[in-house]
Amino acid sequence: MSTKNALLKGFHKHHIVPKHSGGTDSPNNLVYLHPIDHAILHKLRYRQLKHPGDAWAYNRIMSAVGEDKFSITGYKRTEETRNKLSKLKMGRKLTNETKQKLSEKKVGNTNATKKCMVNGIVFDKVGDAAKHFNLNVSSLSMWLSGKRKAKVECKYVE
């Protein structure tokens, strides 16, 4: 059975307090919903709270139906949220093991430094293009790699 068909079968476990908001897999935090009800719930949550996790959940379920989806391209954190996250990270000590893992993840990630063309303008880095057009870097990278359908004209250049 394909993933699309599986998304519409049976019932879905839904976290009352979402995992992205600190919810757990505890039975007290789970309810079972029909897939369409599950999608509607995430759609309403996204409209009210604007959390990209809810848009992702809605889009994932609705992709099986082929219905309208939310565009969260260009989602940016507010200045207040960025400051709070920055303060949380201040003084944080990483173990050597963690540093090594982070370093290994970066190895081979050459797309970030590749030149690209977006809407006819050439940029030295994907991040520069994303900043210029106020786009999310990961979304632009997915479009450039062909993993997602591009919403702008874009390609890597030599």
Secondary structure (3-state) at 152? coil
At residue 130, the pLDDT reads 85
Between the ranges 4-13, 64-73, 138-147, where is the mean pLDDT highest? 138-147
Three-state DSSP state, 30: strand
pTM listed for this prediction: 0.41
As a whole number of angstroms, the longest Cα–Cα distance in the chain is 54
Residue 69 has pLDDT above 60, yes or no: no
Phi and psi at 111, nearest 5°, equal -60, -30
Evaluate if residue 16 carries a pLDDT over 80. yes
Mean residue pLDDT across the chain: 78
